[in-house]
Chains A and B, each alone.
Chain A
Amino acid sequence: MNFILEKQALPDLLQTWRANFDVYLPQNLERFTHFMPLAAEGVTVINEPHNTRIPPKALFLPMTETLVKFTRFGGYENAKHEIEPRIVFALRPCDAQAVQLLDTSFLQVKYSDPFWLERREKTITVALGCHEPCDNGFCTTVGYGPFNKADLDAMLTDLGDFYLVETFSEAAETCFNGFANASETICVQALEVQQRAHDQMPVAFETENLKEKLEQNFSSNYWDKVSLSCLGCGVCTFLCPTCFCFDIVDETQRRERVRNWDSCMFRTYSLEASGHNPRPSRVERTRQRLSHKYVYWLDQVNQIGCTGCGRCVRYCPVGLDIRSMLRQAQSLPFEVSHAS
């Protein structure tokens, strides 16, 4: 279903949703935007061409989450999180795509993560398409796009005074109940905007045979070159919408077992109890990060594990750029495999 949503009507609509849902939308925090619960009033919808700093994966996989609580005398019980039905509003298509990618890890046939599942089931995602290209994004390069519709309940397209709302699920349709249906011409107009936005995104690097090149040059000195100035902090992984590594620790003082975000760029990530570290330096860790996104994820689910949001490019303290790393990878030697 396609609806028309006047921009003036949007604040009221958000407030109506608040009656039944927790509404999360990007709001200004310091000098960046952050997904925060909607307050009773005074909220503006931000449609600047940039992303929130913390990706919305944090709404599904919190930075710190209690899994199990222990009692004093050896017993334990599973932690309960009270998760209200919620609407995540104005997330960008790249981030929504990332959540779908994470589903492949958290919701597998045999085992699924109960907390992730509950949060996913209770969430309606309403995306805001990017009609203006963002600064460092490269979503079209990796096969997604500024109006990528994967895993969304609804998407908004900015058409000047109003948004065109496309809904893809019944839950989302009820959210927009009562709004005027969009005419054919408006839909065509929206398509043009979407196409134009798609065309405006630059192609940052070629993805053809990238997987083979990275895979076959596992021990090349290419990795030394690209990781030379890496500091080894966790900015790129913590701000990445598709990075989901976590670490489980027992907070004994609080008698809780806790799951925290972890990063493959840390020394302690792969450190073994014996003291041996299979990824002893930043070279191996950089290789792991890039290969996970551009090799292993393709092996596992046949999708590139990077949605091109550009956060790692923008916030890297030393200006390392995944786009240029992969551009350099294009000149690596490789052989075509005939297996597939």
Chain B
Amino acid sequence: MAERPGIALFQCQWCLFSPTDQDWVDNHLPNNIYLTKTPCTGRINPLYVLNAVQGGADGVMISGCLPEQCHFVTGNITARRQLEEFNDFLNHIGYEKQRVRFVWLDLQDRGMIQKELAAFEEELKNLGRAANLVTRMKVAEGEQNA
């Protein structure tokens, strides 16, 4: 695979406690990672994930806080129930389960997000390009519709 796999990253704005990490995510993400910052993982509607999947993301990563560390007390647990089930459901209709990954970060962690993204990217490289459920035409910057 010549290109790097495309990753849609949904990040809870509270989960990266370290300013260095947050700065890296905000300003220095590689081009193949598309960031969506949310106020809490609880805000991530399964439709967001579906949109990323249909739009051709090779993988979806959701990073949030650990249980009991949620800024909004239960947002992350709600999200986990829903999104985990949504992942199972997508798998049921033919989207590989490994393509959706949850990263639950401890507020004490430093530099975890880079490592996790690198590991995820490595796994996605082995899986290859996503084909199933990719139904929306990709419109790359400055390109004609593919």
Measured between alpha carbons, how far is A255 from B145 in the docked complex, in Å?
9
Measured between alpha carbons, how far is A255 from B146 in the docked complex, in Å?
12
Q: Does A253 reach chain B (CB closer than 8 Å)?
A: yes
Residues of A within 8 A of B55 (CB): 253
Question: Which A residue sits closest to B141, measured CB to CB?
Answer: A72
Question: Which B residue sits closest to A254, measured CB to CB?
Answer: B137
Residues of A within 8 A of B137 (CB): 253-254
Residues of A within 8 A of B139 (CB): 253-255
Measured between alpha carbons, how far is A325 from B145 in the docked complex, in Å?
49
Measured between alpha carbons, how far is A253 from B52 in the docked complex, in Å?
12
Q: Does B136 reach chain A (CB closer than 8 Å)?
A: yes
Number of A-B contacts (CB under 8 A): 11
Measured between alpha carbons, how far is A253 from B139 in the docked complex, in Å?
7
Whole-angstrom distance between the Cβ of B128 and the nearest chain A Cβ: 24
Measured between alpha carbons, how far is A254 from B137 in the docked complex, in Å?
6
Residues of B within 8 A of A72 (CB): 142
Q: Interface 1/0s, chain A 230-274, versus B by CB < 8 A?
A: 000000000000000000000001110000000000000000000
What does DSSP make chain B's interface, helix, strand, loop or mixed?
Answer: loop
Question: Which A residue sits closest to B137, measured CB to CB?
Answer: A254
Whole-angstrom distance between the Cβ of B146 and the nearest chain A Cβ: 11
Measured between alpha carbons, how far is A254 from B145 in the docked complex, in Å?
7
Whole-angstrom distance between the Cβ of A74 and the nearest chain B Cβ: 15
Whole-angstrom distance between the Cβ of A200 and the nearest chain B Cβ: 47
Residues of A within 8 A of B136 (CB): 253-254
Q: Which residues of chain A from 69 to 85 have any CB-CB distance to chain B below 8 Å in the complex? A: 72
Residues of B within 8 A of A255 (CB): 139, 145
Measured between alpha carbons, how far is A101 from B63 in the docked complex, in Å?
57
Measured between alpha carbons, how far is A254 from B136 in the docked complex, in Å?
8
Residues of A within 8 A of B145 (CB): 254-255
Measured between alpha carbons, how far is A254 from B54 in the docked complex, in Å?
13
Q: Interface 1/0s, chain B 122-146, versus A by CB < 8 A?
A: 0000000000000011010010010
Whole-angstrom distance between the Cβ of B54 and the nearest chain A Cβ: 10
Residues of A within 8 A of B142 (CB): 72
Q: Which residues of chain B from 47 to 90 have any CB-CB distance to chain A below 8 Å in the complex? A: 55
Question: Which B residue sits closest to A253, measured CB to CB?
Answer: B136
Which of B55, B136, B142, B145 has the most chain A CB atoms inside 10 A of its CB? B145
Question: Which B residue sits closest to A72, measured CB to CB?
Answer: B142
Q: Interface 1/0s, chain B 26-60, versus A by CB < 8 A?
A: 00000000000000000000000000000100000
Question: Which B residue sits closest to A69, measured CB to CB?
Answer: B145
Whole-angstrom distance between the Cβ of A244 and the nearest chain B Cβ: 27
Which of A253, A254, A255 has the most chain B CB atoms inside 10 A of its CB? A253
Among all A-B residue pairs, the 10 with the closest Cβ atoms: A254-B137, A253-B136, A253-B139, A254-B145, A255-B145, A255-B139, A254-B136, A253-B137, A72-B142, A254-B139
Q: List 11 A-B contacts (CB under 8 A).
A: A72-B142, A253-B55, A253-B136, A253-B137, A253-B139, A254-B136, A254-B137, A254-B139, A254-B145, A255-B139, A255-B145
